[in-house]
Structure 1
Amino acid sequence: MSTEVDLEQLAGAAGLKVDHVREVARRTLAEDLQWGPDITTRATIGVDQRGTADVVSRQHGTLAGLPVAIAVLHQLAADHNTELIIDVIAADGDRLQPGSLVLTVSGPLRTLLTAERSMLNLLGQLSGVATATAQWVDAIGDHQCSVRDTRKTVPGLRILQKYAVRCGGGVNHRMGLGDAALIKDNHVAAAGSIKAAFDAVRDSNPSIPLEIECDTLDQVRDALAAGADLILLDNMDTDQLRAAVKLAEPYQAKLEASGGLTLAGAAAVAATGVDYIAVGALTHSAPVLDLGFDLRA
C-alpha cells in the first residue's frame, strides 16, 4: 500500500465506520496517557531522534485490526504535530508465519514508542480472534457449515471483534439486541410457550431475523411448528443434532449448534448437517496473537 495510508478507505473496505475506528484508537491511547506523557521515552530519546520500526508476527496466526492500528498512528501523529511514513505490507485476513512483516512505520522515535503498546494491544487482540476463528474454519474443512460468533465480546470492542471473526473466515451472528431476535429459555418461560414467544416477537417485528433456542428435540418440533426458520440447538450431542436436521428438512429451516463444542469435535458436528456452529470462545477467550514492534538498528 501507499505510504500515505487512507484510513477512511481502509476502514470502508473492511466494512467499518472510520469514526468508530478512530474513537477506539483514541480511547486506547487515553488509557496509557491519562496520567501524562510517556516519561520513559521522553527521558531517554531526544526530541529530534527519528527511526523506523517493523511490526512483525512472532507466531503463526491470522491478521486482523489494521484499520485501528493505523488509526492509533494517525492519532499520535496529529497529537504530536508530526508526520509518520507508514508502509502496510500485509492485509487483514492474511495467514502469518513467525517473522512475517505486517507494517513498517518511520518518524520521530518518541511518537513511535508512545504508539507501540496501544497499537500492539489492538492488533494482538483482534488477530487472536481471527486466528481462533480460522482454526475452527480449518477444523470444519469441506463441510457446508459456517462458524458464527456470539455477543460474548469484550465490552467496547464488539464491532472490531466481529470484524476479526470475518477476517478469520467466520460469519457474524447479531450485532446487538436490536438487529435480530433470539428467543431463549427465559423468554419462553415468561411467555408461556415457544409458540407464544414466537408469535409475540413476530407480531411486533414482522421482518426482523428471528431465532429460537431449543434444548430438546420436542422443543425443535414446537419451534418448527411455530414457523421458525432459524433454530439454535443448545448443548445437543451429534445424535440429537442429526435428528434435529432430519426434523427440519421439510421446513427448510436453518440450524445452529451451540454449547459444549470443541475444536477437536468441530468436523463431527459439522457433518451432522447443521448450517452453523456458534462459538463464544472466538471473542471471549481467544489468546492474543504475539506481535512485535522492532526498532531497526
Structure 2
Amino acid sequence: MNRELHKVAFVGTGVMGSSMARHLLDRGFEVSVFTRTREKAEGLVSHGAVWKPSAGEAARGADVVITMVGYPKDVEEIYLGDNGILPNAEKGAYLIDMTTSTPTLAKQIYLLAKERGLHSLDAPVSGGDIGAREARLTIMVGGDKEAFAACQPIFQALGTNIIHQGEAGAGQHTKMCNQIAIATNMIGVCEALAYAETAGLDPEDVLKSISSGAAGSWSLSNLAPRIIAGNYEPGFFVKHFIKDMEIALDEADKMGLDVPGLSLAREMYVKLSASGEENSGTQALYKLFQKKSTN
C-alpha cells in the first residue's frame, strides 16, 4: 500500500458506500467516515472506522477524500459548503467523487480543487450492491493521469475494471453511457420475463437459456433472478436511477443528440416512482408489466 495515501475519509455510507469503506479498512487504510445519518455508519465504526461530525471534519488530515452520495446537489453541498471538503482538505490531498453526478459539476470541482493545490478525480462506478460488496466495481475515472496513477491503491481495493477515461468530467460522461445502456436493457429484461410468464413458461428455465446467449447482460444475470424471486430490494434505487437518466438526457440535449430509448425508460421509471416504488431497486420496473398482464 502506498504510504502517502494511508488516511482516507469516506463521505456517504449507504447501500454501496458502506461496503466500499469496509474494503479500505480491510486493506489496512486508516478510515474516517461521515454520513448524515450516523446510525448508517455504526457497522463501520465497530469495524475500526472513526466517525466525524461533518464532511469538512472528515477531510481534515486525510490523504484521500472519497465521496459517495445521492445527488449532484449533495455533491455540491459537501464539496463547496463552508464546512465542506474543499475549504478543509489538506493541500496535496486527492479528492475522489464516486457519486454519479454531472460532468459540469465534476469540472467545476476539479478547477476549484486545482486552485487550492488539491487533486480532483470524478470516478463514478457500476456494479451495484453486489459489485461493491465483492470489490468488483467498474470504475470510470476522469481527471489528471498522474492523480489517477497515484490513487491506484484506492481503486484496486474497490474494483477490478478501472479505466482512465480522460480529463475532468470524462468519468461522469462514461457513467452516462453506462446508464443509457442499462435503461433500455432493463425494459428488455422485464419484457422478456413478462412474455415468458404470460406464455406459461418457467421463467427460471427461460433465464438459463437466454442469459448465456446473445441476449446476455449483467442485468439479465443479476437482476432477473431477483425479479423471479419477487425481490425488489435496492441494489440501486429507482429514485437515483431517474436522477441519472435526467442527467444523461440533459447532457444529450446539450450535445444535440436524440436518445429516444432513454426518454422512454425515464418515462416508465417516473411512472413507477409515482406508484410508490422510488426506494425500490431498479428491477421493480417489472411491476409495471405485471399490472398490464393482469388487466
Structure 1 or 2: more strand by fraction: 1
Instruction: Using structure 1 for the length normalisation, give the TM-score.
Output: 0.24
Structure 1 or 2: more helix by fraction: 2
